[in-house]
Amino acid sequence: MSADMTQIFSEFIGMAVLILLGDGVCAAVNLNKSKAQNSGWIVIAFGWALAVTVGVYIAGLNGPAHLNPAVTIAMAVNGSFEAHLVLPFIIAQLLGAIVGAVLVWLAYLPHWDATIDQGAILGTFATGPAIRNYPANFISETIGTFLLVLGLLAFGGTQFAEGTNVFAVGGLILAIGLSLGGATGYAINPARDLGPRIAHFILPIKNKGDSDWAYSWIPIIAPIVGGLLAVGLFTLM
């Protein structure tokens, strides 16, 4: 396997693991008869932080471990990532997210039939706003991703003991989730939202309702905008 394909495959595997653990904690909290049902936002925020940490460790064995199209695009614009790999990375991230979401469905297979709340089911896969206000929701996702990419760029210029930089990334995700995630569920990642939303659309889930495609453009476009704004600011620092 070529060096490029190794990186692309690592991105796919890392993203699948990230979604398996991230959407997995949402399933644990949201689905009926789960032992973790109703354990709350703190559990979700910590679960996602650890999901990103594990996913980055795995993908980082053979690649840059972006695990996020907004990060991939920002790093390419910043000049720290090869432009010819941008599209393959985004495709790998999206496919990995779909696979991860399908694995969550399998892991909680009997719980879908036991859950009748369509919002809880969709919330296991994809994000949604606490208050539906598209301009405000767009701003929230932009700010969250701006902070994510700015933090990643700053970490890149910081000396860490070998292997410990991943914990800083996990801490950044945790901080964003706890402080900024309440408005929209902090997708801050187009593939994280779109891949599982596609899985929700295609999987045979009882009582699932629609996939809320009317909202889906916000967690796709806003993170890209936030990432580019972060790159713009970072070049001035």
CB 119 within 8 A of CB 128: yes
Q: How confident is the model at residue 157 (pLDDT cuts 50, 70, 90)?
A: confident
pLDDT at 192 over 90: yes
Residue ranges and CATH numbers for the domains of the chain are 3-234 (1.20.1080.10)
Residue 209 has pLDDT above 80, yes or no: yes
- pLDDT the model gives residue 159: 79
Q: How many CB atoms lie within 10 A of CB 205?
A: 19
Q: Give me the residue label for tokens 């809320």.
A: 212
Closest CA to 210 of 100, 118, 94, 78: 118
pLDDT band at 162 (very low <50, low <70, confident <90, very high): confident
Q: What is the pLDDT of residues 80-118, one digit of tens each?
A: 999 999 999 999 999 999 999 999 999 999 999 999 999
CA nearest neighbour of 141 among 211, 192, 208: 192
The model's pLDDT over 6-31, given as tens digits with 9 standing for 90+, comes to 999 999 999 999 999 999 999 999 99
The whole-model pTM stands at 0.97
Separation between Cα atoms, residue 193 and residue 19, nearest integer Å: 10
Q: What is the mean pLDDT of residues 122-144?
A: 98
pLDDT at 194 over 80: yes
pLDDT of residue 102: 98
Q: What is the pLDDT of residue 156?
A: 84
pLDDT bucket at 208, cuts 50 / 70 / 90: very high
Does residue 164 have a pLDDT over 90? no
3 state DSSP class of 200: helix
Mean pLDDT of the chain: 96
pLDDT in tens, 62-80: 999 999 999 999 999 999 9
Which pLDDT value is given to residue 207?
93
Q: Residue 237, class by beta-carbon neighbours within 10 Å (0-12 exposed, 13-18 middle, 19+ buried)?
A: exposed
Give the angle subtended at the CA of 220 by the CAs of 83 and 19, to the nearest 5°: 90
Residue 158: pLDDT band by 50, 70, 90 thresholds? confident
Q: What is the Cα–Cα distance from 69 to 98, expressed in whole angstroms?
A: 14
Residue 130 clears pLDDT 90, i.e. is over it: yes
pLDDT band of 160, cuts 50, 70, 90: confident
Q: Are 105 and 24 in contact (CB under 8 A)?
A: no
For residue 31, give every residue at least 6 positions away whose Cβ sits within 8 Å of its Cβ, in sequence order, or none.
37, 108, 111, 112, 114, 115, 120, 121, 124
